[in-house]
Structure 1
Amino acid sequence: MGNSGGSLTARSTGGLHQLMRAAGFTGIDDNKALAEGWQVTDFADAGQHSLAYLVRHTGAPAVLMSFHDSDVGFVEALTPDGTSWEGLLNRETAESYDIPLDHFPVEPAVAGALAWSAAAGLTPDEQAIRQTLTASALFAEELSAALLAALGLPGTAQPPQARVRPST
């Protein structure tokens, strides 16, 4: 059985775990530092408004990825000015779970990701974002890592392309 929790990527100068707990996150793991104050933290579960609470209290943008058994990833991103977007990772596998793909259209997700990255002061790669949102991988977490790199998050590296393949 795979991961059914999630990961939060946020910029914070400290006290992120305390803010995450106050926002309704549970099962919080250690932070992995990226660069320029960005951190990735795995968690077991999050509340419906956890991302909004966290962004409001940190005053910084964040990306939340929720995983369904490591097969599918649901992406939510938000900035303090309200720029937000949603996406789906591993669409082909999501379809086998009867997840309605029309609820997660690719082009609005790409446009939202580009706007979110710009609002977060990052330099995104539009082609890599689109590829990640349409690609397939054995584990959704592989696509998650590729998406963070495509969004321009400092300290992330694009995973090997051999593991992340375009969807057919």
Structure 2
Amino acid sequence: MEALTPSGRRWHTYLHPEVAARDGAPRLTETPDVVLRAALDWSGRAGLTAAVRDVLTAHGSLAKDTFAELVGALGVPRD
């Protein structure tokens, strides 16, 4: 997942870092804490902090389910 904060700062993470590592995805350049702070700043300005934090810190879900939850938390229509 990749996004920009309202101030234009780019952040990037994997919804399931363990699976990404196992599958050979490139290492992330920022720690999970740095990414979470950027994501919370981004979502907080949109009034979605709690929902996005819950999704980004979830464990034990399939990536497609996590992505669907994130899309829902962001209020993106699913037509």
TM-score (norm 1): 0.36
Deviations 1:92-138 (A, max 9, x none): 2112112354535321111111111123x222116404423xx2433
Aligned CA RMSD, in angstroms, stands at: 2.8
- Larger helix proportion, structure 1 or 2? 2
Considering only CA atoms, is the larger Rg found in Structure 1 or Structure 2? 1
Q: For the residues of structure 2 that align with 1:79 and 1:99, how far apart are their CA atoms?
A: 23
User: Aligned pair 1:147/2:73, yes or no?
Assistant: no
Aligned-residue identity in percent = 26
Which ranges of structure 1 fall in alignment gaps of 5 or more residues?
Answer: 1-74, 157-168
Which ranges of structure 2 fall in alignment gaps of 5 or more residues?
Answer: none
Matches within 5 A, 1:83-162: 83-103=9-29, 105-119=31-45, 121-125=46-50, 127-132=53-58, 135-138=59-62, 140-149=63-72, 152-154=73-75
Alpha-carbon distance, 1:80 to partner: 5.5
Name 1:159's counterpart in structure 2. none
Residues 87 and 109 of structure 1 are in contact (CA less than 8 Å); yes or no, is this contact kept in structure 2? yes
Mark the CA change 1:127 to 1:116 in structure 2 (over 3 Å): closer, same or farther: closer
Deviations 1:67-114 (A, max 9, x none): xxxxxxxx1112563143211112221121123545353211111111
Q: Secondary structure at the match of 2:49?
A: coil
Deviations 1:1-45 (A, max 9, x none): xxxxxxxxxxxxxxxxxxxxxxxxxxxxxxxxxxxxxxxxxxxxx
Q: For the residues of structure 1 that align with 2:13 and 2:5, how far apart are their CA atoms?
A: 15
Mark the CA change 1:147 to 1:154 in structure 2 (over 3 Å): closer, same or farther: closer
Q: For the residues of structure 2 that align with 1:107 and 1:136, how far apart are their CA atoms?
A: 19
TM-score (norm 2): 0.65
| Structure ranking higher on relative contact order (CA contacts 8 Å, 6+ apart) | 2
Residues 89 and 144 of structure 1 are in contact (CA less than 8 Å); yes or no, is this contact kept in structure 2? yes
